């Protein structure tokens, strides 16, 4: 089968379109014919060798953890799925290997769910990693109805879901983004503020007593202002800055595959509560270009690679 793979750590120039053996379904695994696979910044950190102490890579690595497609083979004990099911998954395994940027991929059943019926495969592939990250981070931070919530990186892949889920939970959301994304944030349900030197002044207008929750989906300098903007009883959570836990007494979150959470997201999407924003689509052979675009750091929503 065709797949994107690399045999050494490096930049996008190590990515090759290549022929690889077909995947086999393990006992608790299904083989999915890939219609679409979304890309994420973490794929590039892994390819650069920056997570070598966290996740073992087995070369050649096929990158990608997000997938939407059709089950074409089932394992010995996968009662959750049948051949022909349309599924989506955050198909992260224990080692980095056999990813989703391929014609077919083995997907652990615990990482998959039936795809939202209202979405195309391209849209569905855009959901798992970022949607789960947003949901699990807001849950860890304890976001609830009536909270004043500040979300950093609100227009990105994770932020787009985070704003909509927090709003759905009944929170009042202020989101940071560049000015070009402010109308977009309003459409998602957030009050937009620009990140940078005037952030504290502009954001505190919405929460003079401090924010109940500060959620960092951007990293970098985002949490520098957390102490100034947080209410005395507030909580911080970040997916990109360990200071949230080490210095601010909050949470540093790493998304986990979770089929039940995928079913929750599918329900909210099919109910029309969550919109899925596609920034760009690329065919499999242009995956390297897709990663270069993502590395620009200003994607609105998700970049998706289409396969079948």
Ligand X SMILES: NC(=O)c1ccc[n+]([C@@H]2O[C@H](COP(=O)([O-])OP(=O)(O)OC[C@H]3O[C@@H](n4cnc5c(N)ncnc54)[C@H](OP(=O)(O)O)[C@@H]3O)[C@@H](O)[C@H]2O)c1
Contact 81, 109 (CB under 8 A): yes
- Residue 298 or 308: the one with the smaller Cβ distance to ligand X is 298
Nearest to 24 by CA among 74, 97, 88: 74
The nearest distance, CB 154 to ligand X, in angstroms, is 7
Smallest CA-to-CA distance from 59 within 107, 116, 18, 108 is with 18
Distances (CA, A) of 229 to 91, 202, 233, 266: 36, 11, 12, 33
Minimum CB distance to ligand X, residue 162 (Å): 9
Q: Which residue's Cβ lies closest to ligand X?
A: 156
Nearer to ligand X, 230 or 253 (CB): 253
Q: How far is the CB of 289 from ligand X (least distance, A)?
A: 15
Nearer to ligand X, 145 or 179 (CB): 179
* Nearer residue to ligand X within complex by CB, 78 or 100: 100
Which bin fits 77, alpha (ψ -120 to 50), beta or left (φ > 0)? beta
Cβ neighbours of residue 177 closer than 8 Å, sequence gap 6 or more: 153, 154, 155, 159, 184, 185, 192, 194, 195
By CB under 6 A, name the binding residues for ligand X.
40-42, 130, 133, 152-153, 155-159, 176-178, 181, 195, 217-220, 222, 239-240, 253-255, 294, 297-300
Give strand ranges (E) for the chain. 2-5, 16-19, 29-38, 66-74, 86-90, 104-108, 112-114, 148-152, 172-176, 191-193, 211-216, 230-238, 251-252, 278-283, 302-306
Beta bridge partners of 70: 33, 86
Neighbours of 169 (CB within 10 A): 17
Residue 26 or 189: the one with the smaller Cβ distance to ligand X is 189
Cα 64 from Cα 39, distance rounded (Å): 6
Nearest approach, Cβ of residue 1 and ligand X (Å): 27
Q: How far is the CB of 277 from ligand X (least distance, A)?
A: 10
What does the alpha-carbon distance between residue 102 and residue 112 come to, in Å, rounded to a whole number?
17
**Which lies closer to ligand X via its Cβ, residue 30 or residue 279?**
279
Identity of the residue, 85 or 241, whose beta carbon is nearer to ligand X in the bound complex: 241
Min dist CB 78 to ligand X, Å, is 26
CB of 38 to ligand X, least distance (A): 9
């Amino acid at each position: 089968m065709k797949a994107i793979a690399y045999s050494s750590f490096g930049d996008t120039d190590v990515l090759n379109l290549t022929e690889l053996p077909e995947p086999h379904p393990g006992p608790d695994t299904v083989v999915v014919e890939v219609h679409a696979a979304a890309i994420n910044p973490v794929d590039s950190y892994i390819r650069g060798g920056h997570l070598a102490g966290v996740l073992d890579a087995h070369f050649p690595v096929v990158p990608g953890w997000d997938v939407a497609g059709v089950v074409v083979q089932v394992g010995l004990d996968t009662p959750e799925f049948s051949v022909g099911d349309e599924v989506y998954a955050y198909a992260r395994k224990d080692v980095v290997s056999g990813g989703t940027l391929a014609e077919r991929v083995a997907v652990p059943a615990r990482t998959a769910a039936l795809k939202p019926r209202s979405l195309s495969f391209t849209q569905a592939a855009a959901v798992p990693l970022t949607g789960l990250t947003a949901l699990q981070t807001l849950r860890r931070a304890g976001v609830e109805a009536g909270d004043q919530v500040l979300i950093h990186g609100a227009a990105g892949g994770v932020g787009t879901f985070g704003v909509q889920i927090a709003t759905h939970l009944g929170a009042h959301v202020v989101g940071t983004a560049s000015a070009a994304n402010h109308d977009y944030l309003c459409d998602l349900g957030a009050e937009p503020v620009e990140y940078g030197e005037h952030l504290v002044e502009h954001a505190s207008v919405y929460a003079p007593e401090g924010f109940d929750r500060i959620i960092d989906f951007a990293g970098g300098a985002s949490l520098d202002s957390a102490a100034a903007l947080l209410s005395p009883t507030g909580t911080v959570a970040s997916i990109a800055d360990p200071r949230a836990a080490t210095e601010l007494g909050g949470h540093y979150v790493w998304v986990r595959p979770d089929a039940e959470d995928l079913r929750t997201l599918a329900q909210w999407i099919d109910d029309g509560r969550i919109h899925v924003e596609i920034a760009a689509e690329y065919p499999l052979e242009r995956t390297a270009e897709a990663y270069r675009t993502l590395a620009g750091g200003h994607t609105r929503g998700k970049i998706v690679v289409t396969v079948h």
